[in-house]
A and B are shown apart, each in its own frame.
Chain A
Amino acid sequence: MMARGHVLIAVLVVMGALASIWMAEFATHLEDRVRASRMIDRESLATQASAAEWQAVSTHLAGLDSTESPAEIVYSVDDVLGLRQVTLTAEWIDGQWALTRDKVQWRELTVFP
């Protein structure tokens, strides 16, 4: 009876040790996944901000007449860092708009959610 008790204790000790190692492994794996997902979200937001910039410029250019050249274009987009405010100069050269990036300001910088 006592021998069985000893064997049971030994088995429990081994299982406890293995469980603690497995838990540590699982926690590391989970942390990796959370980190990776967070970074992918950030990169995806940056890509969306690029697309939003081009969209904003297209909208502004569509409303401009070549006689207004050179024109200042100002727009804001949300990106990974905050509210990005961009100032461009659009100049009508050889039948098309040439853009110059004048100023970029980040406003309302926030902690990434």
Chain B
Amino acid sequence: MVRSHGQLTGVLIALALGALVTLVLAQLWSQESIRRTHATDAAITRADLDGVTLFLTTLLVPARTLTVIPEAALRAELGGGVTVLSEGLRLEHPGMTIHLYLGRSRVQPDAALWVHREQFGDISHQSLMPVDGALSIQRPDPETLCLQTSDPIWIGCHTLLPGQS
């Protein structure tokens, strides 16, 4: 009787320890899955930012002139149907004008970085990535132009090339 009582106690202690270990592991796995979700979100955002950085090179390098346009002037240039939320950048290429700005559209109600491209009357309007924060365009010196978003945090700078103004 005493022996079986001792065995029962041993089994109960073993069960309690097993349950405790399982709980600790479940807690660890749960935290890990939450962290992984955040890491995946961050990786997607980073991939967007890397893509934008590379894509902007294809717009900035061939441009003849780069001009910072205030919000109101940008609205007037782009016309109705476009929701502008920030100042923008106008890039003039041979035969093509590109506007880069923060805005919304009917299709994409969340704020995004947009590229509005007009070439010989043909227009394409493309969103590059979602932006929750603000967009600012700065000229830290006469030879450099930087685009910066606050959320996601990103900064892309372009050094003026020969023939660009």
B25 touches A101 (CB 8 A): no
Chain B CB within 8 A of A100 CB: yes
Q: Main secondary structure on chain B at its contact with chain A?
A: helix
A54 touches B61 (CB 8 A): no
Range for the number of chain B residues in contact with chain A? 20 to 34
Chain A: CB-nearest residue to B57: A46
Please give, as numbers and ranges, the residues of chain B lying within 8 Å of A80 by CB-CB distance.
54, 57
A26 to B73 alpha-carbon distance, docked (Å): 49
A88 to B83 alpha-carbon distance, docked (Å): 36
- Contact residue among A25, A54, A100 (Cβ-Cβ distance under 8 Å from B64): A100
Q: Main secondary structure on chain A at its contact with chain B?
A: helix
Please give, as numbers and ranges, the residues of chain B lying within 8 Å of A28 by CB-CB distance.
36, 39
Task: Please encode chain B, from 39 to 58, with 1 for each CB lying within 8 Å of some chain A CB and 0 for all others.
Answer: 10001001000100110011
A100 to B43 alpha-carbon distance, docked (Å): 40
Chain A CB within 8 A of B14 CB: yes
Please give, as numbers and ranges, the residues of chain B lying within 8 Å of A32 by CB-CB distance.
43
B94 touches A103 (CB 8 A): yes
Chain B CB within 8 A of A99 CB: yes
B159 touches A47 (CB 8 A): yes
Further pairs besides A21-B32, A31-B43, A84-B61: 7, Cβ < 8 Å: A6-B14, A46-B57, A47-B159, A50-B159, A54-B161, A54-B162, A101-B161
Interface residues of B (CB under 8 A from A): 10, 14, 17-18, 21, 24-25, 28-29, 32, 36, 39, 43, 46, 50, 53-54, 57-58, 61-64, 94, 159, 161-164
Q: List 26 A-B contacts (CB under 8 A).
A: A6-B14, A13-B21, A14-B21, A14-B25, A25-B32, A28-B36, A35-B43, A35-B46, A39-B50, A39-B53, A42-B50, A50-B159, A54-B161, A57-B162, A79-B57, A80-B54, A80-B57, A86-B161, A99-B163, A101-B62, A101-B163, A102-B94, A103-B62, A103-B94, A104-B61, A106-B58
